[in-house]
Amino acid sequence: MQIYLAVTPAEAQEASRFRCSLAHVAYCIGPDSTLLRQNLLLQTRGGLLSVTDRGAPFIASPERLSAAALRECGRRSYGGVLLDFEQPPAPDRLAFAETLARRLSPRPVYVPESYAAASGAIPLICTAISGGNFVQRLQEAAAGRDRAGGLALDVQRLRMDFTLPAQSGEGRPLSGRELQDLLDRESPSVFFSQDLCARYFTYARDGETHFVLFDDADTLSQKLRTGGNMGFAAAFLMYPEVQDLLPMLFPGRRT
């Protein structure tokens, strides 16, 4: 399984010390279906082109935008494209994903799971779950695609505080500092959930019981191993989310 660190141009040099492939978060969609590049070093080569649709206009010409992405992949020797789309699937976005996947083949185009209907693209399956069973989630996703090799992992670092009973399954996201402050203040017993492949603890405050679910280097490593053993094509980690864990996640890769 190929592992990618998603990095901005400012993070690329530091991240490259871990000898993971890089997804260069330096591209966005401009007016008239243009591809805009942001502050990328001239010598950048290899890895993936990563493009966001944050604030992007309607894609009037998926062919024109795809052609621009292909030219940039050729210029920079990129091995594929990551479409880091935040907007819900819309016809223009889906048309671009499908056009790009067709024209870039056999190089991959990775898309959010919500864009799984895009023909030829590889959906990203999020690893941060707060209910159900992690292994079963991957198995069901793979069964829906006929093969795990047509999927990739979106390895998101889980840090969430739930007030029980958490009927919605949604908790309050915690920063790294907030999680550490809770651990320092409460000194809780921390347990491992086999089903969720995450660590957890509970604490009480103002008459309410809280359930905290979080990832560390061990749980993320286990999630990566599980996906790799199942034949997933790739895994993506956001560099700022896991920067402090990289020496433990990839001890043999550090230069």
Kindly report, residue by residue over 68-126, the tens digit of the pLDDT.
999 999 999 999 999 999 988 999 999 999 999 999 999 999 999 999 999 999 999 99
pLDDT at 169 over 80: no
Residue with tokens 């809280």, as numbered in its chain: 210
CA distance 171 to 166: 8
Confidence label for 250 from pLDDT (cuts 50, 70 and 90): confident
DSSP alpha helices (H): ranges in 36-158?
Answer: 62-76, 91-104, 134-145
Of residues 169 and 66, more confidence is placed in 66
Question: Can you give the pLDDT at residue 254?
Answer: 55
**144 CB-near residues (< 8 Å, 6+ apart):** none
Question: Which segment of 14-28, 156-170, 208-222 scores lowest on mean pLDDT?
Answer: 156-170
Q: How much is the pTM?
A: 0.93
The closest of 55, 146, 53 to 100, measured between CA atoms, is: 53
